[in-house]
Amino acid sequence: MKKTLILSFLAIATSTLLNCSSDNTPDVESSFFSQYDNRNFEMGFSTWPYAPTVASVNNTYDFIEANTDVYSEHLDLSVPWDAWMNNTELPTAFTDEIISRKNRKIANAKLAVSVSFLNLSRDDIATEYDGSTPTYTALNDQAIEDAYFKHLVYITNELNPDYLIVAIEGNELLVHDPDKWEQYKLLMSNIRTRIKEEFPSMPISESMTLHNLYNPTVDSPNIYINEVVSYANSHDFVAISFYPFFKGLSTEEDFQNAFDFLHEKITKPIAFAETSHLSEDLTVDSFDLFIPGNEAEQKDYLETLLTNAQEENYLYVIWWAYRDYDELWETFPDEVKDLGKLWISTGILNEDGAEKEALESWEIAFKK
């Protein structure tokens, strides 16, 4: 930004020295977001920390407080099914997690809470705290519904969000275990109805992955797209999870094509519940995966995202992690270490806290 201002000053000074009239002065190249007087959507991050320390958690909340007007508590956790079903004491691992987030609630920012009904593989319900999966006949069993409803009510009462996402990346179930999809829809319809009765003014949604909706690699893609879009448009707002590098998208044109597809299909207000992009190459040998990335590409995606948010009047945008989390990743259990590596370099600060190119773009838009 400072460089742009200096160049602008030099251009004006040179023009004056050459006695050029103001009518003939060339236009100074406009910077990102300069065409907008005010920002009409909210911007924020999830509270995902960069290290396994209290200091990291505190620093994350401090950064969020200074650089956002909305933030996300992303609860992709186990569910204490047994306690909810049998009215027994809740696991301290669960209650401590919720209390910690409640105690750090940011007063001057809106809060979006996302809760996962599905496991990390998105092919079954979330596990119990001991790693087991409760027995059920169908996803919409009354016992499952009642337990999950209690779970959501407890979290909502404790955290008092402005937006509630009652399931994370629900369309992934249709990809990974389509036989459960109709059961899932029946369950979630009942859940949303009951939550709305409990919290009438709460905007409620379920997040969907754009990277597995745009040009999906499924049988009968048009049927799949129409099914997911119809379902998403039945919610109060459409919550999007989007990681364009999962789809091999790397240019401004690639990004914009995905956004255009989204805008053509969606009729409800849009919120990006989680998104980010690589700032360096990603290699995961066990997945036989290599995805190139760099800071300029990450900045291009962020600017494309924020411009679309402005032009299409999104509710909010959540960038997943504000800082690369190499130190936290080192502590991951072996069974999730490769999965956890996928987003490791998607922050707008690097693992040492140094600024990346995308940070300036974030600050320009945020200050509007």
pLDDT of residue 27: 36
pLDDT at residue 14 greater than cutoff 50: no
Determine the Cα–Cα distance for residues 176 and 48; give it in Å rounded to an integer: 26
Burial class (CB in 10 A: 0-12, 13-18, 19+), 2: exposed
pLDDT at residue 191 greater than cutoff 50: yes
Token look-up 């407080």 returns 65
Query: If you average pLDDT over residues 343-362, what whole number do you get?
Result: 98
Query: If you average pLDDT over residues 316-325, what whole number do you get?
Result: 98
144 CB-near residues (< 8 Å, 6+ apart): 81, 125, 134, 136, 187
Mean pLDDT of the chain: 92
pLDDT of residue 58: 98
Grade residue 78 by pLDDT with cuts at 50, 70 and 90: very high
Angle at 307 between CA 39 and CA 65, to 5 degrees: 50
Q: Yes or no: say if 39 and 313 are a contact pair by the CB < 8 Å rule.
A: no
pLDDT of residue 122: 97
Query: If you average pLDDT over residues 21-30, what whole number do you get?
Result: 38
DSSP string, 195-207: HHHHSTT--EE-E
Query: If you average pLDDT over residues 49-61, what whole number do you get?
Result: 98
Query: If you average pLDDT over residues 190-210, what whole number do you get?
Result: 98
Give the residue from 64, 62, 11, 3 showing the smallest Cα distance to 31: 3
Whether this model's pTM surpasses 0.85: yes
pLDDT of residue 13: 31
Determine the Cα–Cα distance for residues 293 and 227; give it in Å rounded to an integer: 33
pLDDT of residue 347: 98
Q: pLDDT for 233-285, tens place per residue?
A: 999 999 999 999 999 999 999 999 999 999 999 999 999 999 999 999 999 99
Domains of the chain: 1-30 (no CATH), 39-366 (3.20.20.80)
Q: Yes or no: say if 114 and 152 are a contact pair by the CB < 8 Å rule.
A: no
> H or E segment at 310?
helix 295-311
pLDDT at residue 190 greater than cutoff 50: yes
> H or E segment at 290?
strand 289-291
Determine the Cα–Cα distance for residues 194 and 140; give it in Å rounded to an integer: 14
Q: pLDDT for 80-134, tens place per residue?
A: 999 999 999 999 999 999 999 999 999 999 999 999 999 999 999 999 999 999 9
pLDDT at residue 220 greater than cutoff 60: yes
Grade residue 57 by pLDDT with cuts at 50, 70 and 90: very high
| Widest distance between CA atoms in the chain | 84
Residue 36 per-residue DSSP state: -
Tokens of 119: 């496991």
Q: What letter represents residue 224's amino acid?
A: Y
pLDDT: which is higher, 30 or 311: 311
Grade residue 30 by pLDDT with cuts at 50, 70 and 90: low
76 CB-near residues (< 8 Å, 6+ apart): 114, 116, 120, 168
The secondary structure of 59-98, three-state, reads HHHHHHHHHCCEEEEEECCCCCHHHHHHCCCCCHHHHHHH
Q: pLDDT above 70 covers what percent of the chain?
A: 92
